[in-house]
Amino acid sequence: MPAAEVRGVVLEAGKIFDPVKEAETVGVRGMIPEEGGKALARHRLDDNCERQLSNAVNVAYSMSYTFHAMSSFFRRDDVALTGLGKFYIKRSTAEREDALDLSRYLLRRGGRVKLMGLCQPKMNYDEPSKGDALYAMELTVAMEKLQYEKYLALSKAAEEAKDMELQDYVCTKYLHPQVKLIKKHSEYVSQLRRVGKGQGTYLFDRVLKSKMK
């Protein structure tokens, strides 16, 4: 049986992979950087994917910050929609956990996490036609849709870089749940539009709170 050549490595006949020989041929040094400051684990992580992952971390933190602000508003004693207050602090915690998970993933892949500044959340709850709860929930749907676009951009970057592992991670962990979140929040918008401000919103808030116990 003739010897086989795989990726420039001459292997014994009938063999398809010799890890030691191949690692030596591609250069162990090439695979594992020796210079300080470079991640040893980094393997096939595209620069654009690294950037987009870092952006996703910052987007999740910004969402968390905004939901925190919303929760603080609904928990005010002159607003006292405590169901929404609880709902938004849970959303805030969930987004912060997503930010941490994305950071951990990026570090696992040998990337670097670059945290940016957060914008002060500025909301206008006084819009007379909607009322505070509907205004907040409509804003939430819009923000979740924007976040979906960011995750989609990350998934597209992974596709372009042929990084199937990253694509699978984004799709399973972020795109699928994001679709469910958009649907759930859209239903809340419909319910708030149906019940109106005042007593209707108060009842919506009570039901929301009872569901979270």
The sign of the CA dihedral 207, 211, 212, 213 is positive
For residues 40 and 142, which CB has a smaller minimum distance to Fe ion in the complex? 142
Minimum distance between the CB of residue 28 and Fe ion, rounded to whole angstroms? Answer: 41
For residues 167 and 178, which CB has a smaller minimum distance to Fe ion in the complex? 178
DSSP state of 155: H
Integer Cα distance of 16 and 51 in angstroms = 36
By CB under 5 A, tell whether 64 contacts Fe ion: no
Minimum distance between the CB of residue 42 and Fe ion, rounded to whole angstroms? Answer: 28
User: Phi, psi at residue 173, to the nearest 5°?
Assistant: -85, -25
Number of residues that bind Fe ion (CB under 5 A): 1
Integer Cα distance of 156 and 166 in angstroms = 10
Known binding residue 187? Answer is no
Q: How far is CA 179 from CA 1, 126, 171, 184, 211, in A?
A: 55, 29, 11, 9, 21
By CB under 5 A, tell whether 58 contacts Fe ion: no
By CB under 5 A, tell whether 52 contacts Fe ion: no
Q: Which residue type does 1 have?
A: M
Site for Fe ion in 140-169 (CB under 5 A): 147
Known binding residue 165? Answer is no
By CB under 5 A, tell whether 54 contacts Fe ion: no
Q: Which residues contact Fe ion by CB under 5 A? A: 147
Annotated binding site for Fe cation: which residue ranges?
95, 144, 178
